[in-house]
Amino acid sequence: MNKRDRQQKILSLIRAKPIATQETLRELLENAGVAATQSSVSRDLEELGVVKHHGHYTLPRTNGAGARGLVSLDLAGDNLVVARTHPGLASAVAVEIDAATFPEIVGTIAGEDTIFIAVRDQKAERAVIKSIWGLFS
Amino acid sequence: MNKRDRQQKILSLIRAKPIATQETLRELLENAGVAATQSSVSRDLEELGVVKHHGHYTLPRTNGAGARGLVSLDLAGDNLVVARTHPGLASAVAVEIDAATFPEIVGTIAGEDTIFIAVRDQKAERAVIKSIWGLFS
DNA sequence: ATTGATTATGCAAGTTGCGTGCATATGGAT
DNA sequence: ATCCATATGCACGCAACTTGCATAATCAAT
């Protein structure tokens, strides 16, 4: 019914088990008593920053180690991707990202536990998140 | 006409000379071509954090001294808030901002006397500026 | 390249929320 | 108590958000 609740439900669903398509996600929501269309699911996933990787939807964030310092990836507007790392590892992570030379990345700057990644446009943002997440997982 | 413009005008008016009442402020706005009622002026002053002191309205914090290093906050586009600090204090201020964990803040990077604060959208910018000022007042 | 499956999006309708003025309540000073 | 200044509940209008539908764009597999 409510957008926020639906998005929360989506998060718990994709955390519970791998989900391959928006249509199956929509069905699961329906079973949980939350009616929605594929359109809305698509927009929700976009807003939540969920990304499809290895054939299923996941959140680009970790709760522990295993990703060589990278903790999360987020968006700020249309031209900036913000990566969070474990303390002190931002530079190391940034070096690795730079080394991969993604064409959509215009430039990066690293602080202590944060990296700003400038990209050309909104389309590039999603591609970059997907690529970087793949690089570190 | 527009709320944001009107509030900017109010700020420049109370900076220009001491103003004693909301009614005179309203008249000055009218002369400047900005129609408004006393009700709106009252709400604007509230939102702007303007306070009446010694019989006239003033901004509580025009100088940055005593704000633990923070000097100014400005906007760059829709997704970036730029904070200036006293030399060398950017990291310390940034740590304090991070520790407050505002949900609108996507990430921060500190230099020597400047901090870039990435936020999600234009709405978040206003909220963040207000929050940070509150944090350092 | 073609086809089928999956995801994104322009548009229109419904709904919500914000900004505002009016009227009036509250507060403050003498 | 009265007068002046300021705050606020209410209602209305407009702008922004949310959504579904239909369809376009993208992707995967052959």
What does the block give as tokens for A112? Answer: 């202590």
Contact B109, B93 (CB under 8 A): no
Q: What is the pLDDT of residue B135?
A: 84
Confidence of residue A6 (pLDDT cuts 50, 70, 90): very high
Residue recorded with tokens 């709320």: B3
Distance measured from the CA of protein residue B39 to the C1' of nucleotide D10, in angstroms = 14
Q: Of all residues in chain A, what percent are helix, strand and coil, respectively (each to 5)?
A: 45, 25, 30
The CATH number for A3-55, chosen from 3.40.1190.20, 1.10.10.10, 3.90.1150.10, 2.40.30.20, is 1.10.10.10
The domain limits of chain A are 3-55, 70-136
Q: Which residues contact A11 (CB under 8 A, 6 or more apart)?
A: A48, A59
Least CA distance to B120: which residue of chain A? A76
Is B19 a residue whose pLDDT tops 70? yes
Work out how many CB contacts closer than 8 A connect A with B: 46
Locate the chain A residue with the closest alpha carbon to B122: A77
**Residue numbers in B near A115 (CB within 8 A):** 107, 109
Q: Is A17 exposed, middle or buried (0-12, 13-18, 19+ CB in 10 A)?
A: exposed
Using the predicted structure, report yes or no on whether residue B131 has a pLDDT greater than 90. no
Nearest to A82 among B91, B94, B107 (CB): B107
- Beta pairing class for B80-85 and B105-110: unpaired
Considering only residues 38 to 97 of chain B, which have any Cβ-Cβ distance to chain A shorter than 8 Å? 77-80, 91, 94
User: pLDDT tens digit string along A65-114?
Assistant: 667 999 999 999 888 999 999 999 999 999 999 999 998 999 999 999 99
Q: What is the mean pLDDT of residues A3-25?
A: 95
Question: What fold characterizes domain B3-58?
Answer: Arc Repressor Mutant, subunit A (1.10.10)
The CATH number of the structural domain formed by B70-136 is: 3.30.1360.40
> What confidence score (pLDDT) does residue A65 get?
60
DSSP-based three-state secondary structure for A103: coil
Residues B59-83 have pLDDT tens digits of: 876 555 567 899 988 888 888 999 9
